[in-house]
Amino acid sequence: MTGINRIVILTGAGISAESGIDTFRSAGGLWEQHRVEDVATPEGFARDPDLVLGFYDIRREALAKVEPNPAHRALARLEAEFAGELLLVTQNVDDLHERGGSSRVLHMHGELKSALCLACDMRSAWDAPMAHHPPCPVCRSPSLRPDVVWFGEMPYQMERIYTALTATDLFVSIGTSGAVYPAAGFVQEARMAGAHTLELNLEPSEGSHFFTESRHGPAGRLVPEWVDELLGG
């Protein structure tokens, strides 16, 4: 592909599905196992913190047992070999992009392996359970919550993302249902700025019609194929 100097990539749960991490909205996915209002809202956390901390403890533990797949690795190869500017934005709270070799990942919905202290507002790297209310490493208050973005909260680094979207030549959305805003609106921002927009997803997403090009299939195949094509084999 010629004339591509800036790329913004958005990834969602589908990119980690072949690594063995549950998506949210697929049959049998996380939102069929749990009520979203209970485990992914500040109100749910206020009502029953132990339920929410336990939900994230289980997911953090599961993360230690899975590995990045060819889609994560292909994006790391793109970061290493693409001569232009690349911004990789993920909605995922897992660390499979980093373990797959990407070194610059923007986690707009936070990270499972980070804790946010409600007492001192500090973030700490975190790889242990939280359900027993351990003390914050900074202020010692037992006030930690997972450093993730729930419904009704502001996703991280939105200004940086919108700035990149308005200047990008190519926007690629990988493995996301397009059901959650503001991420679901990125394609329209990029299109308005004149970018080519490409969807790589198992099936047409809710916002499929907004993309100039869509390819459907598993990310573990589609992403390496697209990266090969972009880098010229």
Binding-site ranges for ligand BJW (CB under 6 A):
12-14, 17-18, 23-26, 29, 40, 91, 93, 109, 148-155, 158, 175-177, 179-182, 201-203, 205, 218-219
Kindly tell me which of 14 and 68 has the beta carbon lying closer to ligand BJW: 14
Which of 72, 109, 132, 133 is labelled catalytic? 109
Q: Which is nearer to ligand BJW, 117 or 180 (CB)?
A: 180
Provide the minimum distance between the beta carbon of 65 and ligand BJW in the complex, in angstroms, as a whole number.
17
- Closest separation between CB of residue 81 and ligand BJW, Å? 23
HSE at residue 226, side-chain half, CA atoms within 13 A, is: 26
Q: Strand order of the sheet with strand 144-148?
A: 123-125, 110-117, 144-148
140: region left, alpha or beta (phi > 0 left; psi from -120 to 50 alpha)? left
State in angstroms the smallest separation of the CB of 56 from ligand BJW.
7
Which tokens is 13 given? 């749960």
Give min distance, CB of 119 to ligand BJW, in A.
21
Task: Report the distance separating Cα 59 and Cα 1, nearest Å.
Answer: 38
Taking the complex as a whole, how short is the minimal distance between the CB of residue 44 and ligand BJW, in angstroms?
Answer: 11
Look up 109 and say whether it is catalytic.
Answer: yes
Q: Which is nearer to ligand BJW, 89 or 169 (CB)?
A: 89
Indicate the residue among 112 and 195 with the shorter CB distance to ligand BJW. Answer: 112
Give the nearer residue to ligand BJW in terms of CB position, either 100 or 175: 175
The burial of 14, by beta-carbon neighbours within 10 Å (0-12 exposed, 13-18 middle, 19 or more buried), is given as buried
DSSP letter assigned to residue 35: -
* 147 secondary structure, DSSP code: E
- Rounded to the nearest angstrom, the gap between the alpha carbon of residue 223 and the centroid of all alpha carbons in its chain is 16
Burial 77-112 (b: 16+ CB within 10 A, else e): bbbeebeeebbbbbbbbbbbbbbbebeebbbbbbbb
Which residues are tagged catalytic? 109
